[in-house]
Amino acid sequence: MTRRIVIDPITRLEGHGKIEIRLDSEGQVDRAFFQIPDFKGFEKFCEGRAAEEMPTLTQKICGVCPTAHHIASVKALDALFRVEPTAAAKIIRELMHTAFIYEDHLLHFFYLGGPDLLVGSNDKGFGKNIFGVIGKLGGKIGKKVIEIRKRVRGLNALISGSPLYPVCGLPGGVSKPVSEKERAGIKEIAGDALAFARLCLNIFEEEVLSNREYVDLMHSEAFSLQTYYMGMVDRKNHVSFYDGEVRIVGPDGGLFEQFGAGDYLHHLEERVDTWSYMKTPYLKSIGYHGLCDGKGSGLYRVGPLARLNAAEGMATPLAQQEYERMFDACGGKPVHNTLVYHWARLIEVLFAAERMSEIACHDQLTDPGIRNIPTQTPQEGVGICEAPRGTLIHHYETDENAILKRLNLLVATQNNAGAISLSVEKAARAFIKRGRVSDEILNRIEMAYRAYDPCMACATH
Amino acid sequence: MHGFEPKIILFLCNWCSYEGADAAGRGGKEFPSRNLREIRVMCSGRVDPRFVLEAFRIGADGVLILGCAPGDCHYKTGNIEALKRIPLLERILQQNGIKNDRIRFDFVSAGDGEKFARVTGEMVKLLKRLGPFDHA
Amino acid sequence: MPDKPKIALYWCSSCGGCEESVIDLSEGLLELAERADIVFWPVALDSRLKDLEALDDGEIDLSLINGAIRLREQARMAQLLRRKSKVIFAHGTCAHLGGIVGLGNFHTVQEILERSFRDVPTVRNLGGILPGGSVEGSERGPKLSPLIDKVMALDQVIDVDCFIPGCPPPPELVGKAVWSVLEGKLPEKGFVFGDGKALCHTCPLLESKPEIIRVKRFKRVHETDWDPGKCFLPQGIICLGPATRGGCGSRCIQANMPCRGCFGPLETMEDHGAGMLSFIASMIDADHEDEIRRITASIPDPGGLFYRYSLPHSILGGGKGTET
Amino acid sequence: MPQRIGVYICECGPNIKDAVDMDNLLEDAREHKDVVLVRSFGFLCSPDGKEFLKKDIQAHKLSRVVIAGCSPKENEQTFRDVLKNAGLNPFLLQIANIREQCAWVIQEKSDATEKAGELIRGAINRVRLHEPLEIKTIECCADVLVVGAGVAGISTALAVARKNRKVYLIEKEPCIGGRVAGHEDLYPDMVCASCLIESQLDAILHHNDIEVLTLTEMVEVRGYLGNFMVNVRQKARFVDMEACIGCGACFEVCPVTVPMPFMGGMAGRKAIYIPYSGALPNVALIDGENCLRFQGELCHFCLESCPFGAIRYEETERVRVLKVGAVVVATGFGSFDPQKDVRYGYGKAENIITSLEFEQLVNSNGPTEGKILLTNGRPPRNIAFVHCVGSRTEKFNDYCSGVCCLYTLKHAHQARLQLPEAGICQFHSDLCLPGKDAQRFYRKVLKEDGIEFFRMLRPDTIEIRKGTGSILITHTDTQGELERNEFDMVVLATAMESGVETEGIAGILDVKLGENGFFQEADAGLDPVSTVREGIFMAGCAQGPKDIPSSVAQGHAAAGRIMGKLAPGEPLALEPMVCEIDPEICSGCLVCISLCAFKAIALEDDEPEVSINQAMCRGCGVCAAACPSGAISAGHFSTGAIFSELRGLMG
C-alpha cells in the first residue's frame, strides 16, 4: 500500500496549492505531485470585453502583481492599436513598474519565502512568518520594512491611482502626468528605498550567508536544477523589467534563443495535466520530455535568478557589483541552485531602487505630453514585460471595434510550473528517507517552491 | 413548439395602453389573453429594468412594455424615457443568454384595441416559434 | 486575562489582493497580531487544513473570507469556516458580489475549460484532456476539485454577517471592520461597510456635473481625451460612479480615470446593470428609435462593463449563455 | 400585526359568473397568506354592493381589500370612496381586472378561470405591500400672473385683481400700455388713444392688488392650475422707481445721444431716458448698452443732476419666484417685415414706411409731434396707402388680419385733416370692414375726404420702385391692365403676425402654437382664451389678429375663466401618489432631475441631496425607475409592490 503524505494547503505563497507525496513500500519517495486546485478562466470570460478595459480587468488575475499585468496589458494595447506611447508615458510606466517590483520583492523576502531563511530551525520561539522575522530581527527593522513598503506603494498610488491596482494605463500613454512637486517626493522615496535595499543585502549577508545550514543547502544537489533560463534584457543585454527582448540561455549559460514580443508563439508551448489546473510550458524547439532537467529537457525557469542568468549584467552600478559578487560566491554563471533566487531577488531590489532614482531625475518624467490617441484599426497585439515572478505575456485579438475576440495569457510563475514540480519532487526524494517525515523536512520541501515566490492565481488565471 | 404556451408579462401604462387593452377586451378582439399577465403602471417610464430582469428570472418567456404614442404621454416624455432604455436592455438580456426578441416596446393609444390585439398576437406567435428557455 | 479573540483569514477564488489589503494595514497588522490571535491565515502563516478542522465549532471569533466560490472545494472550505466561526465577514468584492471571476457566468464551465486547455494557440493537447477529467494512460494524480456550474458570491453559499466591499477594500475599511468586532461593536446583520451612498456623493468632480446631461455618442477612454477637472459623464465617457457605493476615496477618479464600479451597487439597487441602465439611457439625446439604437451601439460591452464586479449577484446572474 | 385581506369577486351579472368557475376561484383565493375573507357578489358597483362591501370591511376589520371584477379604469375611484367611508385608507385596495382582460376575451372556461386566479394572486401579493396614502391639500393659490401690459393684459388685470386675489403684471418694455399707448386716435370715432387708456394705466399703477413689474420676462414655469411657481427676471433700471418723478433733469446733462433711426431721420434720445413723453410709469431708465459707465468710464453726470437721488448704478438683474394659480399670456402681436418681399421696395427708397411708423408720425408725442413729413422735412403732396402687405398670400401669411383696412382708412382721414390739398390713394384688392360701425366710417371717409381707391386684381399684384425724385407704384387693376402712379410717400399696411418671442414663451409655458404661429386655443370654438395646458390662459393678439375692443373682451373673458376655476382659500388636492427621495441614500448624482418633465426635482441650495417638491410631482415614477441608487420610492407603485405582484402573477 503506498503511503501518501499531503501538505494541504501549502502556505506562504500567493494562491492555493497541495503537495501529495507518494511513498513506495520501502518508504522512499515514488512520486510528488504539486497540484493547483484553483482556476478562473480569464482566457474565456475576457472574450467580448472592450479592449481598453483589459489593463484594469486582467490585473485582477493577481493581487500581488497587478501592476505587472497592467503594464503587459497596456503594452499589448499599444501593439494592438499600433500606437507608440509618448516618452513621458514610457518613463511613468517604467517608474510605476519598477517601484512595484521593489516593494513586491520585499513582500516575498520578509513575509513569504524569506522567513524560511531569516528564522532558522534553532531560533526557537519565533514562527517562520513576518511576526517571527520582526521578533528575531527586531522592531526597528520591522518598522523600516513596513515603512518603506508603505511609502513606495504610496508613490504608486500617487502616479497610478491605487497602491495596488493601477488604473492609469491607456494605449499610447497614461492618464495622469507627474508634477514637479511630485518629482521631489519621488526622489526622496527613491533615495530611502536605495538605502533600505543595501540594508537588506547586509541582512542577507549577516543572517543567511553567514549561516552554515543555509550555505550548505544553497550548494546542495537537492535544490539544484540544470535548466534553461529566460528573462527580458535591454539592448545592452542587461536585466530589464519594463521593455526589451526575451533572452533564453541554456544550462551551460550559452545563448539559446532570443525573441521579440510578437514571436513568442514560435518559442513556447504548454501541456495539460488532468490532476492540476496549472498548464506546464516548455521550450517549443526542444519539446516536453517529462519532469527532468538538463539540455535535453524543454523545461526552463524565469524569475529573479533566471533573469540574472539570462542577462549579461545589471543596468546599474551597485546592482552590477552585487551581481558579480553573487556569481563569484556561487561558482560562476549560470547558478542552478533554487535557493539563490532569494539572493538574486535582493539584487533586483537594489537595481529597482537605483533605477527609481535615475527615473526620478529624468527630465521627461514631468513632461505634460502623456498620451498619443490611437487612430489605427485594432487587430492583434502582444505585450510582454517581466513580472516580479517571471516573464509575463498578454496576447489579444480583437474585431475592428476593439472588442476582444480571443486572448492568450502566459503568466510569470506558470513558466516555472515544470521547474517547481521538479524542485518539490527532488527535495522530497532528498529529504524523505525510509518513510521518516518531520515538520522540518516538510518545510524544507516547501522551501523548494517558496524560493520561486510562486503566484498560483497567476499560474492558473 | 407544439403545445407550448408562452407566458408574457405585460406592463401597461394607466393612460393609454391599459385603456387599449380594455378596449380590445370590450371590442371582442381576437388575441391570446391567456398568455398575458398584465401589470398596470402609471407610465411606461415607470418600468424599472429590474422588473424586466426579474420577470425573466422567475419564468416569463417574454416581456411586453406598451406606452403612449409619442406626444400623447400624460407625463409628456415618460414614454420616450422608456423607449430610450430598450436597446440597452436588449443588449443586457442578450449577454445574459436571452434573445432580444423576447422583449418588445411599442405604442398603443387609448382606444386602439385593434393594435393591442395585433401586437400581443404577434408576440405570442414569435415566442411559440422560439420555444421556452430554461431560466437557470 | 481572557485569551485573545481568535481571527481567521481565508481566500477562495481570489487573487491575493484582499490579502494585500490586510498586509497594507502596516503597523495596524502588528497591533492586530497583538490584540488578537490569528489562528488561520495560509498566505502568511503555516496554517494547515487539519489545524482548522481541529478547532471547536464557533471557536473562531471572526473569519474574513475573501474570493468568490468557483470550485466545489472552495464552497466546502467556506462551509467549514462557517461552522468554526461565530462571525463571518465577506471580505472584498469577490466574496461580496462575485467579483471579476464572476464574469465566468456569461459562459458555461465547459466553454471556459475548452478555451484555456484546448484552444489557446500555445497549448498542445492532442488528446484534448481537461483538468478534472480522467484519461487512461496519463498519470493518476490526486483528485482535482471541479468547477461549480455558476460562480457564487459568499452569501449564496453560507450565511454571512457583514460585508466589506471594494476591489480591493481600502486597508482603512478592513481595519474598521475588524476592529468593530474586536471592540464588540458588530453592526447589524447584512451591514455593508463603506459609504451608505453612491460615489458621486464624495466625488471631487461633482460640482462640475450639470443637472441635464445629453450625449449624441458615448466615447471610449482610449479613443478620446477629456478635461481632468470635469465630471466624465457630460463628456460622453461612461462612469459607474452614480450607481456604485462610495467609500473608496474616488481613487480611480483621482488618477483621472472613470469609476468601474468595484464597490458594487447599494443594497437598495440589487442589480448593478439595472442601476446603470436607466441612468445611462436617460443621457441619450434622441427620441426616435433608430437614433436611440445608433447612440446605444456606441457602448461597446454594457453587460461586461455594468456587471464587471457583480454578475453572480445580479438578478439574471449571467444566464445560461446558450440561447444567443 | 398580520394583514387582514378581504378578496371580493364580482360576478358582474353574467359577465364574469358565466365565464369562470366562481367556486374554484373563491376556493383558490382562500389559500393565500393573510386572506381572511373571500366572497362574491352580483354587482359590487351597485349601491347595495357598495353597502355590502362597507359593512364587511368594518365588521371584519379588514386591513387590505382586493376586488376582482371590471377594469380599475371603471370603478377604482368608486371603490376607493367605499373604503374611505368604511374608515379604511382608500389606497389599501388593488383591483384585478378579470373582466376586460380575462372573462370577456378567453372563451375556454378553464383557461379564463386559471388566468383570473393568476390575476387575483398578483393583486393579493401587491395589495399586501400597499401603503396608506394621505390626500394632502394645499391652499389653492388664486393669484394671477399676466404677461404683457398691453390693452388685453391691462383689461385682464383690472378685471381679476381684488382683495384676496393679487395680480402680477409683467412687461418686458420699460413702460406699460403696449401698442395702443403709441396710437394717436382710434377708429371709428377717432377717439384719442391716450385719453382712452390713460385712466386704465393709472388705475393699474395705483391698484394695491396689482404689482407691475416692468423690464421683466418669464424664465421658467413649473406646477399646474392653482399651484404654479414662475421664475421671472427683471432687468436693472438703474433708477429708483419710488424716488424718480420723471422730471427729466438728468436728460440734458447726459453726454450720450443714442440715435433712434426713424423714417430715415435721426430722432435721438439720451442714454438715460423715458421712452416717449407721457409714458407710464413716468420714470426714467438707463440704457445699459450705451451709458458710458458700463463701458468702464466713471461718468456720473445724471447722479449729480438728479434732485431726488434716484440714480442706482449698482442695481443688478433680479430673478424672483412668483407663486400664482393661473397665468395669462397677453404678449400682443408682431408686424410683417416688408423687406421680406422685394416687391414693396421697403428699405430701398425713402418715405416708404409701415402703418405703425405712420402711426408714430401722426402721434403728437411722436418724433414729429404729429406732423406728417417726408424725410426732407416737407409735407408730402401725394400719399399712397397699400393694403394686405404680407397678408392673404401663400408665400407669407394666408390670413386677413381684419383691422388694417379700418386703420388705413383712419390714417387716410388723418392725412386729409392735415393735408387738405394732398392726393391720397388706397391700393386694395378687397375691403374688410367688419363690425357695426365700420361701414359708417368708410362712407364718411369716402365722402368727406375725397380718397381715391385703386382696386387690384389680387392683394400682391403691385410693385413699388424708387422713381426719379418720387416713388413709382405699378399695379394690375381688376381688368388685368398695368397702371403706374407716382407718390412721394407710401404707407404699407403690414400683416399682424405672432410676436418674435412667442416661440420662446411657448417653450417656457410648455404650450402649443398653431400653424400660423399664434398660441393654440384649447378649443377654437368653445374655449378661445384657454391654451392646451390647464391653468394657462391667453388674451388679445397673442391668440390671433384682432382689434382693440376684441382684445379687451378677451381680457375680460380670461379673467372670467380664472375666477370660475380659482376661488381664493379653496383647498387644492395634491397628487397623492407622489415620489419621494430618501436623503439617507441620495448621493446627489442629479440623474433624476433631467428625467422630471415637470421640473419637480431640484437640488436644495445648501444640502448635497436632491429632493422632490411634493406639490409639483405628478407621480409618474419615471425618476424612481432611473435612480441608480434606488433611493426614490413611488407612491402606490412602489418597487417592492410591483415586484410582489410580478411574483404573484408568475406563481
Is the separation of the CB atoms in C42 and C89 below 8 Å?
no
Of C201, C214, C242, the CB nearest to D591: C242
Is the separation of the CB atoms in C238 and C231 below 8 Å?
no
Fold of D333-497: FAD/NAD(P)-binding domain (3.50.50)
What number of C-beta contacts closer than 8 Å exist between C and D? 77
- pLDDT tens series, chain A, 461 aa: 678 999 999 999 999 999 999 999 999 999 999 999 999 999 999 999 999 999 999 999 999 999 999 999 999 999 999 999 999 999 999 999 999 999 999 999 999 999 999 998 777 788 999 999 999 999 999 999 999 999 999 999 999 988 899 999 999 999 999 999 999 999 999 999 999 999 999 999 999 999 998 999 999 999 999 999 999 999 999 999 999 999 999 999 999 999 999 999 999 999 999 999 999 999 999 999 999 999 999 999 999 999 999 999 999 999 999 999 999 999 999 999 999 999 999 999 999 999 999 999 999 999 999 999 999 999 999 999 999 999 999 999 999 999 999 999 999 999 999 999 999 999 999 999 999 999 999 999 999 999 999 999 999 99
Of C198, C212, C214, the CB nearest to D629: C198
Q: D107 pLDDT exceeds 90?
A: yes
Of C46, C122, C131, the CB nearest to A270: C122
D639-650 and D109-128 helices, crossing angle to 10°: 150
Is the separation of the CB atoms in A41 and A22 below 8 Å?
no
Distance from CA of C276 to the nearest CA of D (A): 6
**What are the extents of the domains in chain D?**
5-128, 144-235+317-332+499-565, 249-305, 333-497, 574-635
Q: Do C252 and A273 make contact, defined as CB atoms within 8 angstroms?
A: no
**What are the extents of the domains in chain B?**
8-130
Q: C71 pLDDT exceeds 80?
A: yes
| B121 touches D at CB < 8 Å | no
DSSP calls for A348-363:
HHHHHHHHHHHHHT-G
Q: Do D626 and C278 make contact, defined as CB atoms within 8 angstroms?
A: yes
Which CATH number is correct for C6-100+149-192, 3.40.50.700, 3.40.50.300, 3.30.1330.10, 3.20.20.140?
3.40.50.700
Fold of D5-128: Rossmann fold (3.40.50)
The residue type at D244 = C
- With a CB cutoff of 8 Å and minimum separation 6, the contacts of A202 are none
Instruction: Please compute Rg for chain A using Cα positions.
Output: 21
How buried is residue D167: exposed, middle or buried, by Cβ count under 10 Å (0-12/13-18/19+)? buried
- Mind listing the domains of chain A with CATH numbers? 42-460 (1.10.645.10)
CATH of domain B8-130: 3.40.50
Report pLDDT for C324. Answer: 47
Question: Of chain D residues 503-532, which have a CB less than 8 A from chain B?
Answer: 510
Cα nearest neighbour of B45 on chain C:
C278
Is the separation of the CB atoms in D278 and D327 below 8 Å?
no
Q: Do B95 and C106 make contact, defined as CB atoms within 8 angstroms?
A: yes
| D100 touches B at CB < 8 Å | yes
Q: D593 pLDDT exceeds 90?
A: yes
| D21 touches B at CB < 8 Å | no
Of C282, C293, C316, the CB nearest to B96: C316
Quote the CA–CA distance of D377 and D419 in Å, as a whole number.
14
Report pLDDT for A373. Answer: 96
Interface test with C, best of A20, A274, A445 (most C CBs within 10 A): A274
Of D108, D598, D649, the CB nearest to B37: D649
Fold of D574-635: Alpha-Beta Plaits (3.30.70)
Phi and psi, residue A271, nearest 5°: -120, 165
Which CATH number is correct for D144-235+317-332+499-565, 1.10.620.20, 3.50.50.60, 3.30.460.80, 3.40.190.10?
3.50.50.60
**Stretch D40-47: mean pLDDT:** 94
Cα nearest neighbour of B9 on chain D:
D646
Q: Do C255 and A49 make contact, defined as CB atoms within 8 angstroms?
A: no
Distance from the Cα of residue C310 to its chain's centroid: 6
Of D105, D634, D639, the CB nearest to B33: D105
Distance from CA of B134 to the nearest CA of D (A): 15
Q: Provide the 8-state DSSP code for A41.
A: -
Q: Do D620 and B78 make contact, defined as CB atoms within 8 angstroms?
A: yes
Report pLDDT for B136. Answer: 46
Chains sharing 3 or more CB pairs under 8 A with chain B? C, D
Quote the CA–CA distance of A36 and A39 in Å, as a whole number.
8
Cα nearest neighbour of D643 on chain B:
B51
Q: What is the dihedral of CA C251, A375, A400, A396, to 10 degrees?
A: -50
Q: Do C266 and D625 make contact, defined as CB atoms within 8 angstroms?
A: no
Interface test with C, best of D220, D580, D629, D639 (most C CBs within 10 A): D629
Mean pLDDT, contiguous 10-residue spans, chain B (136 residues) = 86 96 92 96 97 95 95 91 97 92 95 95 95 68
Quote the CA–CA distance of D1 and D24 in Å, as a whole number.
29
Report pLDDT for D185. Answer: 82
3-state secondary structure of A405: strand
Quote the CA–CA distance of D222 and D533 in Å, as a whole number.
12
Q: Do C316 and B50 make contact, defined as CB atoms within 8 angstroms?
A: no
Q: D98 pLDDT exceeds 90?
A: yes
**What are the extents of the domains in chain C?**
6-100+149-192, 113-147, 199-313
- Please write the tens of the pLDDT for every residue from A358-414: 999 999 999 999 999 999 999 999 999 999 999 999 999 999 999 999 999 999 999
- With a CB cutoff of 8 Å and minimum separation 6, the contacts of D632 are D579, D580, D581, D582, D592, D612, D623, D624
Quote the CA–CA distance of D193 and D165 in Å, as a whole number.
29
Quote the CA–CA distance of A47 and A41 in Å, as a whole number.
10
Q: What is the dihedral of CA D60, D62, D66, D70, to 10 degrees?
A: 60
Residues of D in contact with B37 (CB under 8 A): 115, 118-119, 122, 649-650
- With a CB cutoff of 8 Å and minimum separation 6, the contacts of D113 are D20, D21, D24, D25
Common-topology check for domains D333-497 and D574-635: no
Mean of the per-residue pLDDT values of chain D: 90
Distance from CA of C161 to the nearest CA of A (A): 25
Q: Do C281 and B134 make contact, defined as CB atoms within 8 angstroms?
A: no
Q: C320 pLDDT exceeds 80?
A: no
Confidence of residue D364 (pLDDT cuts 50, 70, 90): confident
- Please write the tens of the pLDDT for every residue from D83-95: 999 999 999 999 9
- Please write the tens of the pLDDT for every residue from A152-200: 999 999 999 888 999 999 999 999 999 999 999 999 999 999 999 999 9
Residues of D in contact with B80 (CB under 8 A): none
Report pLDDT for D567. Answer: 85
Distance from CA of D73 to the nearest CA of B (A): 8
Q: Do A14 and C99 make contact, defined as CB atoms within 8 angstroms?
A: no
Residues of D in contact with C210 (CB under 8 A): 590
Cα nearest neighbour of B43 on chain D:
D620
- With a CB cutoff of 8 Å and minimum separation 6, the contacts of D491 are D353, D354, D355, D358, D383, D384, D385, D386, D408, D411
Is the separation of the CB atoms in D501 and D329 below 8 Å?
no
Q: Do C256 and A176 make contact, defined as CB atoms within 8 angstroms?
A: yes
Q: Do C303 and B91 make contact, defined as CB atoms within 8 angstroms?
A: yes
Q: What share of chain B is helix, strand, coil (3-state, %, to 5)?
A: 45, 15, 35
Report pLDDT for C322. Answer: 52
Of D585, D593, D625, the CB nearest to C197: D585
Cα nearest neighbour of B92 on chain C:
C303
**Stretch D200-226: mean pLDDT:** 91
Cα nearest neighbour of B50 on chain C:
C274
Interface test with B, best of D16, D73, D105 (most B CBs within 10 A): D105
**Among residues D386, D555, D379, which one has the least CA distance to residue D475?**
D386
What are the residues of chain D with a beta carbon less than 8 Å away from any beta carbon of chain C? 582, 584-591, 593-595, 603, 608, 625-631
Is the separation of the CB atoms in D499 and D490 below 8 Å?
no
What number of C-beta contacts closer than 8 Å exist between B and C? 98
Q: C270 pLDDT exceeds 90?
A: no
The residue type at B103 = I
Q: Do B83 and C271 make contact, defined as CB atoms within 8 angstroms?
A: no
ipTM for the complex? 0.91
Q: Do A272 and C14 make contact, defined as CB atoms within 8 angstroms?
A: no
Question: Of chain A residues 409-438, which have a CB less than 8 A from chain C?
Answer: 410
Cα nearest neighbour of C277 on chain D:
D626
**A148: its cell numbers:** 518603506
Of B28, B33, B42, the CB nearest to D101: B33
Q: What is the dihedral of CA B108, B109, B114, B116, to 10 degrees?
A: 30
| B110 touches D at CB < 8 Å | no
pTM for this predicted structure: 0.86
3-state secondary structure of B72: coil
Is chain D in touch with chain A: ≥3 Cβ pairs within 8 A? no
Distance from CA of C196 to the nearest CA of D (A): 6
Is the separation of the CB atoms in C122 and A268 below 8 Å?
yes
Q: Do C316 and B57 make contact, defined as CB atoms within 8 angstroms?
A: yes
The residue type at C234 = P
Quote the CA–CA distance of A207 and A119 in Å, as a whole number.
9
Q: Do C280 and B133 make contact, defined as CB atoms within 8 angstroms?
A: no
Report pLDDT for A219. Answer: 92
Residues of C in contact with A45 (CB under 8 A): 101, 103-104, 106-107, 112
Confidence of residue D279 (pLDDT cuts 50, 70, 90): confident
